[in-house]
A and B are shown apart, each in its own frame.
Chain A
Amino acid sequence: MSVGYRAVQWSRPKRLYDACAAGAMLAYLALFVGAGKLLWTGQRSISDEVLLIRATGSGALAMLHVLLVIGPLARLTPRALPLLFNRRHLGVMTFALAALHGTLVVGYYHGFGAVNPIRSLLVNNTRFDSLRAFPFELLGFAALLVMFVMAATSHDFWLKNLGAAAWKRLHMLVYPAYALLVGHVALGAVQSPRAWPAAAALAAGAACVTGFHLAAGWRSRGQDRAAPVADGWLDAGPAAEIPLDRARLVCAPGGGERIAVFRHAGGISAVTNVCAHQGGPLGEGRVIDGCITCPWHGWQYRPEDGCAPPPFKEKIPTHQVRIVAGRVRIDPRPLPPGTATPPARETSGA
């Protein structure tokens, strides 16, 4: 569903999303600065620069937590899907705030001197062997570099020209970056007195991220039917158990992509579970207006031939389906993308 490229693909919902995210970000910064002014007084008072450094750093890390939780949350409940479709814009905003934090630090702690501030960041502290004096700033710097690469490659142009698989691998670097940041904040907290609130918030956040990922993984394992093999085809269970306009997921033996088996208008159709756009889980979507609709960004395909409705040209692989004694049978070998294959009628086969 590609027409020409634009700098930012904004639509009304995306503008609303971005406005909400930016508003929440500014509100957080204002609250943090306000609370900091009230709490850190007298002996514990800190300069405005340090207050801003803390506000931007903790704000960026909080946004990163939201980003990391959106994916698994959307697999657990469809109500979280509105958060997912514009996650990339949120990612770029997170990078911008993190870059502000890094710039403030480099300017404030490393800027006043004849030394190149980046060089100062690198050589200032090289006590890599010490937990109590570890150069935690370098961990933040490395994470910021990774976030920069992800933000810089977030446009659809990169997705298309690097290829979906390579792009996805690149953007999976968010997990190592997150680990670096956990180190950045934890080791930074070791070095400053009274940093336990930051450390405690981080521990709670990390527990949240891990918990949601484990829960989503556990849930999607439960959805897969083992699909025992009968005459080379897979058994996908009773046809009557598939909810109308929804899918059941089936695992092909020996790995391979999962297959989404949809029931629509009295017929059963099977397509790959992988969306042609960014590999979204089609089997978690619904049939809307006669088309399987990807839960991630709403690309659509007809169940009977895996083709997007005109004028769009995207195609996904389909699978042959039969109903034998009320049970769905699927041919695990995918047909070429866009191949029409008649839906199995629930009344005919039995």
Chain B
Amino acid sequence: MTVADAVILFAALYASIGVGFAMLFVARGVGRVDPVARSAGVGFRLVILPGAAVLWPVLLRLWWRSSRRAPA
């Protein structure tokens, strides 16, 4: 495997996890992390999606923290 292949494999993995996570996050996670987003519409959720796919490690942490703070 060349360096380029390794880079592409890593990017593809990171992005696939990201897209999967982002769909879950915009559906359920946003409202937990930020209560203001609870009542937001589909348009807002779609606008957030690409960023959630890139920054998923950050959001995962925020989501995990908020679920520990207020279980429900």
**A and B are interacting partners:** yes
Contact surface of A with B, Cβ cutoff 8 Å? 2, 4-8, 116, 118-119, 122-123, 148-149, 152-153, 155, 157-158, 160-162
Contact surface of B with A, Cβ cutoff 8 Å? 2, 4-5, 7-8, 30, 33-34, 36-37, 39-41, 43-44, 46-48, 50-51, 54-55, 58, 62
Determine whether the beta carbon of B46 is less than 8 Å from that of A7.
yes
Q: Within the complex, what minimum Cβ distance (angstroms) separates A177 from chain B? A: 15
With A4-B40, A7-B47, A152-B50 already in contact, 18 other A-B pairs whose C-beta atoms are closer than 8 Å: A2-B36, A4-B36, A4-B37, A5-B44, A6-B40, A7-B41, A7-B43, A122-B7, A122-B8, A123-B2, A149-B54, A149-B55, A155-B44, A155-B47, A155-B51, A157-B34, A157-B37, A158-B51
Q: Within the complex, what minimum Cβ distance (angstroms) separates A119 from chain B? A: 6
- Give the residue name and chain of the B residue nearest to A126 (CB): B4
Cα-based distance from A118 to B41 in the complex (angstroms): 34
Q: Which residues of A contact B36 (CB under 8 A)?
A: 2, 4-5, 160
Contact A5:B8 (CB < 8 A) given known A152-B50, A155-B51: no
Determine whether the beta carbon of A6 is less than 8 Å from that of B50.
no
Cα-based distance from A320 to B30 in the complex (angstroms): 40
Cα-based distance from A7 to B42 in the complex (angstroms): 8
Q: Which residues of A contact B34 (CB under 8 A)?
A: 157, 160-161
Q: Which residues of B contact A152 (CB under 8 A)?
A: 50-51, 54
Q: Which residues of B contact A158 (CB under 8 A)?
A: 48, 51
Q: Within the complex, what minimum Cβ distance (angstroms) separates B52 from chain A? A: 8
Q: Within the complex, what minimum Cβ distance (angstroms) separates A153 from chain B? A: 5
Cα-based distance from A153 to B53 in the complex (angstroms): 11
Q: Which residues of A contact B2 (CB under 8 A)?
A: 123
Cα-based distance from A122 to B34 in the complex (angstroms): 39
- Give the residue name and chain of the B residue nearest to A166 (CB): B58
Q: Which residues of A contact B43 (CB under 8 A)?
A: 6-8
- Give the residue name and chain of the A residue nearest to B34 (CB): A161
Determine whether the beta carbon of B54 is less than 8 Å from that of A8.
no
Cα-based distance from A307 to B8 in the complex (angstroms): 51
Q: Within the complex, what minimum Cβ distance (angstroms) separates B44 from chain A? A: 5
Q: Within the complex, what minimum Cβ distance (angstroms) separates A261 from chain B? A: 34
In the assembled complex, 10 residue pairs joining A and B whose CB atoms fall closer than 8 Å, in A order, are A5-B40, A5-B44, A116-B8, A119-B4, A119-B8, A122-B7, A148-B50, A148-B54, A155-B44, A162-B55
- Give the residue name and chain of the B residue nearest to A7 (CB): B43
Determine whether the beta carbon of A119 is less than 8 Å from that of B5.
yes
Q: Within the complex, what minimum Cβ distance (angstroms) separates B7 from chain A? A: 7
Cα-based distance from A6 to B46 in the complex (angstroms): 11
